A = this chain, B = another copy of it.
Amino acid sequence: MDPIKTVIPPACCTLNISGVQQKRLINMFKALGNPIRFEIIKFLVTHPGCICGDIVEHLPIAQATVSQHLKVLKDTGWISGIIEGTATCYRLDEKNIAWFRSLIGEIF
């Protein structure tokens, strides 16, 4: 007797990912799933190397809060910051974003 075969129609995406990579991706999603952080990333596209104060001026929230969001974005790989005297210059983490882009292309 033939075994029962269930045909699974091909899905619109594979989401073929797991483990550490999946965790990393989820954290990147989560970080960008916040309007303020999304705006910060947008701002960095046009203002690479800007300092925390520039971002504070551009947003309606306090410096401490901006700093906190910058930390989240740094920890999840969206941005990097280099200390320059008393300021910190922030820019997109292009390498990690490239990883994100190619991974999305693979699994979606």
Contacts and interface: CB of A to CB of B under 8 A. Distances in A.
Contacts of A48: 8-9, 11
A46 B33 CA distance: 26
A59 interface: no
List of 8 A-B pairs having minimum Cβ-Cβ separation, nearest first = A30-B33, A29-B33, A12-B94, A11-B45, A33-B33, A15-B42, A29-B32, A101-B108
Contacts of A29: 29-30, 32-33
A22 B8 contact: no
A22 B46 contact: no
Nearest to A6: B47
A27 B38 contact: no
A61 interface: no
Given A31-B33, A38-B26, A12 B98 contact: yes
